[in-house]
Copies of this chain bind each other. A is one copy, B any other.
């Protein structure tokens, strides 16, 4: 099994027995993280970043690993999340294959990776593991928890379960629960992997690997990460150069946009473990902040104890549509927090926070720059 651990990743050991929501127990599990910037003397400048499904903890370059991170444009000295002021910790999700314990990790006492013997994973487990991590690093009170995409869900779970851990919150393209359209997309992604004969109930290896399933799953993801409008202006009906078309058979790739998703799907193939993908994908479907807190999502949000929050959504997001971020903002306002809600016009869809820094940078910078 391949893990994909950036070179400067650090680790925090979870408790010897980490009890999960399902009742499953992880023995000797660990959480991967990276940190950026410097802790101040008052120890009150700590920000926690919770990621989407696939990113690792390497959110940005730093002296120990100068390669660009997945949020390079947003995080660093003088950037919107300014490491000249903030000490930032980015945590890799429990269940991932990028350093934190997950299905690719050794199953203690079994002599091999967990694979499908990894216990049922929930968003609450991801949140608890992240909360444990920052506490183990010595922080009981954070300045801000920033959650993007799936991280917007794990952040809400964290806020609900660890109400005094943070003063403020930035939720970007997040949601309190998954909606049927995105559930079906993820269900199809899992199906593509599960029905690839090479998946073999999770017992694949490098030689027999569910390559076709992973490519299909990633392509399916890609249709939900950006927007139709972006693809209209970017690709239109441009055809692939003949040398990039596949095969002689009449149904191979022909349009630029087909080549684009093919290229990115192949790139992803070697960056993520199929079993980890299944666990995290299912856990997104199942998350429901209301259910988790024994009521409605609005009630759960209204009980959170934040001083202030910034909630950002994108009008072209079809995966976590804008009304879900509006719900978060409205619910948080009812808690008495000072809440700012931004509906951005970007055509970059769900992935806008990764690429449309011109729109995301200024409000995040402003939120973080006022006096605290």
The answer to whether B237 and A216 have CB atoms under 8 Å apart is no
The answer to whether B195 and A212 have CB atoms under 8 Å apart is yes
Which residues on B sit within 8 Å (CB–CB) of A192?
192, 216
The answer to whether A180 and B235 have CB atoms under 8 Å apart is yes
The answer to whether A255 and B188 have CB atoms under 8 Å apart is no
Which residues on B sit within 8 Å (CB–CB) of A120?
250
Q: Which residue of B lies closest to A187 (CB)?
A: B258
Shortest Cβ distance from A282 into chain B, in angstroms?
Answer: 6
A184 contacts B by Cβ under 8 Å: yes
Known: A188-B219, A219-B188, A232-B179. A201 touches B249 (CB 8 A): yes
The answer to whether A237 and B177 have CB atoms under 8 Å apart is yes
- Per a CB cutoff under 8 Å, which of B249, B257, B321 touches A180? B257
A223 contacts B by Cβ under 8 Å: yes
Q: Mark A274-317, 1 if CB is under 8 A from B, else 0.
A: 00001000100110100000000000000000000000000000
- The main secondary structure of chain A at its interface with chain B is helix
Known: A120-B250, A194-B251. A184 touches B257 (CB 8 A): yes
A116 contacts B by Cβ under 8 Å: yes
The answer to whether B216 and A180 have CB atoms under 8 Å apart is no
- Per a CB cutoff under 8 Å, which of B181, B195, B212, B232 touches A223? B181
The answer to whether A228 and B180 have CB atoms under 8 Å apart is yes
Shortest Cβ distance from A249 into chain B, in angstroms?
Answer: 7
A234-255 residues at the B interface, CB under 8 angstroms: 234-237, 249-251, 253-255
The answer to whether B190 and A232 have CB atoms under 8 Å apart is no
A185 contacts B by Cβ under 8 Å: yes
Known: A179-B231, A282-B250, A288-B237. A184 touches B116 (CB 8 A): no
The answer to whether A183 and B258 have CB atoms under 8 Å apart is yes
Which residues on B sit within 8 Å (CB–CB) of A191?
216, 219
The answer to whether A183 and B255 have CB atoms under 8 Å apart is yes
Which residues on B sit within 8 Å (CB–CB) of A190?
251
The answer to whether A228 and B181 have CB atoms under 8 Å apart is yes
Known: A192-B216, A216-B191. A180 touches B232 (CB 8 A): yes
Known: A212-B195, A228-B321. A253 touches B179 (CB 8 A): no
A135–B324 Cα gap in the complex (Å)?
A: 54
A178 contacts B by Cβ under 8 Å: yes
A129–B228 Cα gap in the complex (Å)?
A: 33
Which residues on B sit within 8 Å (CB–CB) of A285?
254-255
| Chain A interface (Cβ < 8 Å from any Cβ of B) | 116, 120, 177-181, 183-185, 187-188, 190-192, 194-195, 197, 201, 212, 216, 219-220, 222-223, 228, 231-232, 234-237, 249-251, 253-258, 261, 278, 282, 285-286, 288, 318, 321
Contacts A180-B256, A190-B251 supplied; 14 other A-B pairs, CB < 8 Å: A180-B232, A180-B234, A180-B236, A185-B223, A187-B255, A188-B216, A192-B216, A194-B249, A194-B251, A195-B212, A201-B249, A228-B318, A237-B288, A254-B285
The 6 closest A-B pairs by CB, nearest first: A181-B228, A180-B231, A180-B257, A180-B235, A187-B258, A190-B251
